[in-house]
Structures are given as structure tokens and as C-alpha cells.
Amino acid sequence: MMVSDAFFNNFMIGAIEIYCLITSILFVYWLCPFVNKKKAVYVAALFEWGVDCILRYVDIQNGIRLVLSICSLFIVGIILFLLDEKRNLMQKVFLCVCFFIIRWLTLEIFTELGFYERDFIMEFSLFRESIPAIVAEYVVSTVIEYGLALLLLFISIRLVLKTYKNKHENLSWKEFIMLLIPCACIFLATRIIYAYYMLWFDGIENGSIQANIPGNLYRILFCVMSYLTLVVTLYFYQSIKANKEIEYANRVLANQIYDSKRYVEQVEAVYQQMRAMRHDTGNHVAVMSGLLESEKYNELRDYLGKWEEAYKDIVPAAKTGNAVTDVALSEYVDKFAKDEISFKPLFKYPSNVGVNPFDMCVVLTNALQNAYEASLNVKEPFVEITSVERDKVYIISIKNRSEIKSRIDEDGLPISIKNGDSHGFGVRNIREIARKYNGDIEIKQLSEKDGLWFVLNIMLVG
């Protein structure tokens, strides 16, 4: 029985095509958690698969092939960027580079193990003398090698995705360089290994080397350690980000405590001023009576106007039924008016649900601050806050016109688009307080005739 070289070539081509097709599917699986537009992933994966096919079947010099391979990774990242709302370019490029580094490492591990398997099998005379046995061993070992490489690739992707928690956070240039350096070092090592293989194949072809490429334990250890380096780098990167978020959360909490104290101080100041006005009421009445008896009506009108103005200055603009939330809400009434944002406050403090005023201030200020920031770049901005109380259930609803739809993370919270430390802690704090009172929050984004609306509903249960 004779088996032609065409059989081995065709079988290997088929195995490689199946392997590349499955890795393209895994590439889609790898990218999907990081994007909003799934179409971007499908287009990018299709482009990558097409370039891969061209590089496999078109005779291109190795140097040009290498340049095209590197460029294709960046092009795939750019495609993802352009089709996914033009956001987070650095992260998308890193994801492409990281995936193909992991793909190479997983395949190289089983290629090296295949060298050991080949040398072990060839110790048996059956696999040196029987052509059917040689063919069977070649087919089975190739299928197992590629199958295990794909399985390890899938497990590796799952592990990295689990490690990479904040999938929608913007990656800065500094973070991009920090994460890319390990990938670049691994890539350079892969070129050294590739050059070693090419020299060995050239030696076999010209007859200067008779033996096959031997397995090497150090190359296997290099692949394992390289993969662990990527995972550990990502882990520490995420730990650094988490610590920064904790620091920012502590600063937010400190600011909220300061604001609550300030509101209480303002309430005390208002009460002192009102007591002073009440104490001086008799004097004011006497003055106005004198002006009236003297028929000095213009002076009386001016005096009344000044007294009314002084009264307005100390009385909060909002009436909620609670002195502390009066001050908190009044601050935003003035803030919205200053920036010409239409504001409709229909909030009333609950009477049957026992809510700490400080907690209520945190809810109001966080919700209204988010609505305020979202309204700054909106045509005809409008914000409305309402409240409804039924028995022991109390619901607050904040509605504001929005320019674009907010992206929602895995926890169901909107992702902040602000630069810097902020990462949606406002809504997170609101949800924590709602759950403290056996409630929760609900986020709606409504497309209506008059535009896009963002609605935050907060339920508290007494």
C-alpha cells in the first residue's frame, strides 16, 4: 500500500483550515464581551480569516508576510473601533494582539509535545515498517494535537476573560503600553523559534541534517510561562484599577458626608435667620405702620419689597417635607436654572417609609448630578423628579432628556463616559442605599417622539 505525498498535504491543509475556522469562531467569542455592536466583531473576524487565508496560500516572502500579519492585527483593531461607536481603540488593538499570542502559545505547546510523541512512536517497529500504521498515527496525532490546542485555547480565553473584569473601561496609552510589552516580548521569542524551525527544515532539505526536529522541554516551559505572564499582568492591572476605584469611592463617600453636614448646617442657619426675623417682626410692623400713617406709600412699598427679598433668600426654593432635603433639592433648582436647564421638582419626602435624611440626600444628589451632567450637551434639556408613596412602598423617578443611549455593564449599571477616576459610582451608591431599604433600582432608556429619555426609578420599602 502506497500513500502519496498528496494525501498528507491535502489532509494537513484540511486540518489547518478547520483549525483556523474554529479559531476565528473563538476570536468572536473572545471579543463579544468587550463590544456593544456585535456586527463589529463579525466583520473583524471575517477580515482576519480572509487575511489568514491569503497569507497561507499566496507565495509571499517571509519578511513581507510578517509585516502583513502585524498590520492585519492593527487593522482588525481599527475595524472594531470604527464599527463599535468609535470607542476604546487601544483596548481593541490589545485584544487582537493578545488573542493571537495566546493562539500561538497553545498550538506551540502541543506541537512540542507532538515531537516527543513522534519520537516515542518511532521506537516501535510497527510504525517504522507498516504504512497503514504510519498513516493512522499521522492522522490521529494531528487530530489530537489540533483538538487539544483548540481546547486549551478555549480554556485560556475563559480564564483571561474572567481575569479581565472591567471590560468596558477605556484603556489609556500608558496602560496599553504596559499590557503590550509582555505580548511584544513573547512575539519576538516566537520569531526566534520560527527561525530555528526554518533552519532545521532547510538542513533536512539540503541533506545536512538527517534527524527530525527534537522536542524541547524549555520551549514548552517558555510557552507556559509566557501565558502565565499574560494572565498575571492582566490580573495585577485589574487589581491596580480596582484599588483606584476604591480610592475614588472613598473620596466620593467623603464628599457625600461633607455635603450632608453642609446641608444640616444650612438648615440650622435658615432656622436661626427665621428666628431672627420672627424676633424682629414687631419692629418691622411698627416701621410699616408708621410709613402707612404718614402716607409714605412709595417708602412702604420699598420696605416691603426688601423684607420679602430677605425672606426669599433664607427660605429654600424647594418644599419637600423635610428640611435637609429642602436644602439639597433647592441647590439643584438653582444649579439647573443657572445653566438654563428646565427642571420640574415634584419630589415629596416619604411619610410612611422610614428613610434616613442623609441616605435620601445621597440618592437625590447622585441622581440629580447625573441628570445635570447628561443635560449639559442636550438641545432643549429637561429634568423631572417625581415621587409616589403607597403604604410602605416609596418610589422616586428621575427622568432626563439624553443625547445618546448609555452603555450598561454586566451589573446592569450605566458605564460612565467621563474621563478620569469616575466609573458610575453615583448609580452604584444609589442602588446600595435602595437595597439597604429592601428595594432596588430600575433603568429605562426610552425613544419617544421628542427624543431619547433616560429614566432612573428607585424603590424603597419601609
- The per-residue pLDDT for range 101-150, each reduced to its tens digit, is 999 999 999 988 888 888 888 888 887 777 788 888 888 999 999 999 99
Looking at residue 389, the DSSP 8-state letter turns out to be: E
Give the pLDDT score at 316: 62
Question: H or E segment at 142?
Answer: helix 131-163
pLDDT tens for residues 268-288? Answer: 565 555 555 554 555 555 656
Give the pLDDT score at 284: 54
- 107-121, 161-175, 276-290, 372-386: range with lowest mean pLDDT: 276-290
Rounded CA-CA distance 18/20 in Å is 6
Percent of the chain at pLDDT > 90 equals: 26
- Mean pLDDT across 42-65: 88
Task: With 0.85 as the threshold, say if the pTM is over it.
Answer: no
- Mean pLDDT across 406-430: 67
pLDDT top residue among 291 and 242: 242
Give the pLDDT score at 244: 76
Question: Domain ranges in the chain?
Answer: 5-250, 318-462
- Residue 115 C-alpha cell reads as 515531537
CATH (residue range 318-462):
3.30.565.10
pLDDT tens for residues 3-14? Answer: 566 777 788 889
pLDDT band at 396 (very low <50, low <70, confident <90, very high): very high
State the CB neighbour count (10 A cutoff) for residue 325.
25
User: Quick one: which of 172, 187, 113 has its CA closest to 148?
Assistant: 113
pLDDT top residue among 439 and 163: 439
User: Quick one: which of 54, 50, 44, 153 has its CA closest to 96?
Assistant: 44
Rounded CA-CA distance 119/320 in Å is 83
Mean pLDDT of the chain: 82
pLDDT tens for residues 308-337? Answer: 665 555 556 678 888 778 888 888 888 898
Give the pLDDT score at 420: 45
- Residue 375 C-alpha cell reads as 443635560
The answer on pLDDT for 344 being more than 80 is yes
Give the pLDDT score at 422: 45
pLDDT top residue among 205 and 415: 205
Give the pLDDT score at 329: 85
